[in-house]
Structure 1
Amino acid sequence: MVVSIYVFLILLSFSALYPFWNTLVVSLNEGLDTSKGGVTFWPREFTWSNYEIVFNNERLLQAFGISILRTVIGTIAAIFMTSLLAYGMSKSHLIGRKFFTVFFIFTLYFGGGLIPTFLLIKSLGLMNNFLVFIIPGLISVWNMIVFRTFFKSLPNGLEESAQIDGCSNWGVFFKIVLPLSGPVIATLGLFTAISHWNDWFVPTIYITNHDLMPIQTILRRILNANLLNEAIGADSLAQERLDKRNITSKSLISATIMVVSLPIIAVYPFVQKYFVNGVMVGSLKE
């Protein structure tokens, strides 16, 4: 029985990891050689050419920088604003607390729809504006509920002691509450960062300026449209140069996917230890 469980878990892990590994292998293999088939676990003709094309392209590098900037600023701003709202909502003496609770939860079940949202974003002047990546995602009701549950679990004596020593509400929030919220901040911060990093839909709807396009939107265009002409801007002469370097669409796509995926994957080890405590917060009843 134990052996069968381990075998099942190994096969399950393999099925989850192999697509990522194969993409890495293809990205490190010559494109024309990959097109012959048989490249599965190891590169047959090792090369860095695919990554050279990606990193030497200014448009992709600019898009990569937009994605990094959006993820960092958006995550920090969203975690701060959501935690600040949750701190206020965690106070039982807050006037209108029940009304605001129902008001926020209502938005979890009902939304305005794409067209009203588009008209709202346009009326706010956020079209082709970097702030369209930040402002609409400042508040997450689900994250607010998790933060509120965590704040309500903190001993009341901590805040009362700080207030007796003359600490204001802002001081309690920044000096007492936030320092104790490391696990939940790390967990929700990672989920928020992944959401920002993987988002391609918002730029597709609200951004037409290529200088503000994040790497995910360009990657989707690579996958769904004319790879070299639209995503990299290659002309016929550039295409001939790529052919001479044994580069194909599949190998270039694989390299771009790896460049997009590795930064967010690299963050996991640094916040993994907070996952158990952070995720468990949302499972506790008030």
Structure 2
Amino acid sequence: MKTLNPSKSSTGLSNIGFQIANYTILTLFMLLCIYPFYYIFIYSISGSQEAMTGITWFPKGFTLVSYSKVFEFDGILNATFISVSRTVLGTLLTTFLCSLFAYLMTIEQFPMRKFFYRFLVITLYFNAGLIPWYLLMKNLHLNDNFLLYIVPGAINVFYIILIKTYIEQLPKSLEESAKIDGAGYFTIYWKIIMPISTSILATIAVFTAVDQWNNWFDNYILVSDKNLQTLQYELYKYITQASSLSRQSGMEINRGGATAVYMTPQTVRMTITMVVTLPILCVYPFMQRYFVKGIMMGAIKG
């Protein structure tokens, strides 16, 4: 006849209790992270007047008028094209150049390899400041130039360090066998290093895309051409002028239909926040499987 072991049963109960508490805390933490974004979303699709009375879980007076009006603001479509272009081109250029430079830093035969790498690392600790950066961009004739958005950030030291560390963990036998077959350094980089470095390159691509999409300060400082305005800068101007925009939007809707619909400043802010945030959030589901692996393998040297 079997007898129950009190110590084992108590251990099992404590494990179950720990799991319940653990999942409960993590679920609450997840809700705390998600709810602010969810609140912005339901506010943006609610009627302006109904939303002013308060919203908790569900939208009131469902409508997409705020989104349609935001995309009717002057210059929004062209600014969207500029932001998408700088994000795509900037991400591709930065990922390619940083990975190529990082691979060069792993080649022992590369002249002055340690000097260049140490010089790069030093730049992480020193920053010339805003005025020298502004003067440099002006002297390079990058003001009112689309290249301003993609060239200055094409080389990022932090990304180079991550990629270099990742490449150094790859088996040296792969490069050695390729050299025996007559492959040059660029061939090795393009056909061997790049395909097996998907994880870290995808991580760098996510970082770069988020930075490019959210950046508006270079536009604010150095670009006055209306055809080169970015979406983030245009929406930043609209947010700062939300009160006047809400009155303007209300009058436009009133002329177009029999019933007057007014957008409050808060509705304008919530809608613009969703317009700016949602596109870049769509990138993460496609890159998530590479993201954690790339960060861990690129940040820890074996």
Whether these two folds match at TM > 0.5 is yes
AA of the residue aligned to 2:222: Y
CA contact 2:203–2:290 (8 Å) conserved in 1: yes
Deviates more, 1:53-62 or 1:100-109: 53-62
Counterparts of residues 218-237 of structure 1 (less than 5 Å): 218-223=234-239, 225-227=240-242, 234=248, 237=251
| Cα distance in structure 2, aligned partners of 1:178 and 1:69 | 24
Q: 2:50 aligns with which of 9, 33, 39?
A: 33
CA contact 2:246–2:265 (8 Å) conserved in 1: no
Shift of 1:2: 3.5
Q: 2:185 aligns with which of 156, 165, 169?
A: 169
1:137 is paired with a residue whose SS is coil
Which residue of 2 is the match for residue 88 of structure 1? 104
Q: 2:294 aligns with which of 273, 278, 282?
A: 278
| Cα distance in structure 2, aligned partners of 1:276 and 1:188 | 11
Shift of 1:141: 0.4
CA offset digits 1:48-98 (Å, max 9, x no partner): 111111233351122111111110000000010111100100112222122
Which residue of 2 is the match for residue 238 of structure 1? 252
CA contact 1:90–1:151 (8 Å) conserved in 2: yes
Counterparts of residues 58-137 of structure 1 (less than 5 Å): 58-137=74-153
Q: CA RMSD in A?
A: 2.2
Moved over 4 A (4+): 231-237, 239-243
1:128 is paired with a residue whose SS is coil
Which residue of 2 is the match for residue 257 of structure 1? 273
Unaligned runs of 5+ in 1: none
Alignment length (residue pairs) = 283
| Cα distance in structure 1, aligned partners of 2:249 and 2:72 | 16
CA contact 1:187–1:271 (8 Å) conserved in 2: yes
2:75 is paired with a residue whose SS is helix
Asked if 1:204 corresponds to 2:217, the answer is no
Compare CA radii of gyration and give the structure with the larger one.
2
What percentage of residue pairs aligned between the two structures are identical? 37
Shift of 1:246: 3.2
CA contact 1:26–1:43 (8 Å) conserved in 2: yes
Larger RCO: Structure 1 or Structure 2 (Cα < 8 Å, ≥ 6 residues apart)? 1
